[in-house]
């Protein structure tokens, strides 16, 4: 299918790399899901939860609450509306559409995965209350999609490799802190967070690939 499209060699190479990343990510997610269902992640989850929650202090809890709010529906909806508004103002209609597709489609994908696996949330020292199933983490997946997509789009507007690296680093740190906050607050197992990152990575790469192909073929 890729060979049938009128794409540049560079884009075809990009597409093949994306397909490889998707294949590896799907394998990793499948492995996590299988081991979760077979109760083989208990030791790993318990070890990480114990280490993370041993750091609990009132001040750190406030910080973790901020990062968990950063990836909440209310926060990401606000940030997405602002980002899409700025993109439309700059006549980046396809970028705006794929950002919406990444986040909206990703959340539907997350709900489907939660329904398929139906894992109950942990009950160890829960600092906040959350409803719904646990695997994969919706906050982690949403953070990966939004900040990952924004980072990739922002790198298109800078020439300096150092600036690109800083943008990607900031996005990675934000994504990681959102994931850690979910473990710290006791509403997700570490394996939920990892699965959220991997699932988010699959959907993000698919959206980025779709955006690149559409932009090139349209132009």
Q: Which of 178, 188, 196, 207 is catalytic?
A: 188
d(CA 21, CA 201): 9
d(CA 106, CA 196): 10
Place of tokens 């489609």: 105
Place of tokens 């208990």: 42
Q: Which of 139, 179, 186, 187 is catalytic?
A: 139
Active site residue 91: no
Active site residue 188: yes
Residues recognised as catalytic: 139, 188
């Amino acid at each position: 299918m890729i060979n049938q499209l009128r794409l540049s060699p560079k884009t075809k190479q990009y597409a093949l790399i994306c397909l490889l990343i998707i294949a590896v990510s799907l394998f990793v997610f499948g492995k996590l899901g299988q081991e979760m269902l077979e109760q083989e992640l208990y030791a790993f989850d318990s070890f990480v939860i114990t280490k993370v929650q041993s750091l609990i202090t009132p001040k750190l809890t406030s910080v973790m609450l901020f990062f968990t709010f950063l990836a909440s529906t209310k926060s990401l909806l606000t940030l997405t509306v602002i980002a899409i508004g700025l993109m439309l103002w700059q006549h980046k209609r396809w970028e705006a559409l794929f950002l919406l597709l990444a986040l909206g489609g990703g959340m539907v994908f997350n709900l489907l995965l939660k329904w398929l696996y139906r894992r109950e949330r942990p009950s160890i020292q829960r600092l906040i209350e959350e409803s719904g199933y646990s695997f994969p983490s919706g906050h982690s997946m949403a953070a990966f999609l939004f900040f990952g997509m924004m980072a990739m789009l922002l790198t298109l507007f800078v020439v300096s490799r150092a600036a690109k690296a800083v943008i990607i680093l900031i996005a990675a740190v934000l994504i990681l802190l959102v994931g850690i906050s979910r473990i710290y607050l006791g509403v997700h197992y570490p394996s939920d967070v990892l699965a959220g990152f991997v699932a988010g990575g699959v959907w993000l790469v698919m959206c980025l690939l779709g955006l690149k192909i559409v932009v090139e073929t349209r132009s």
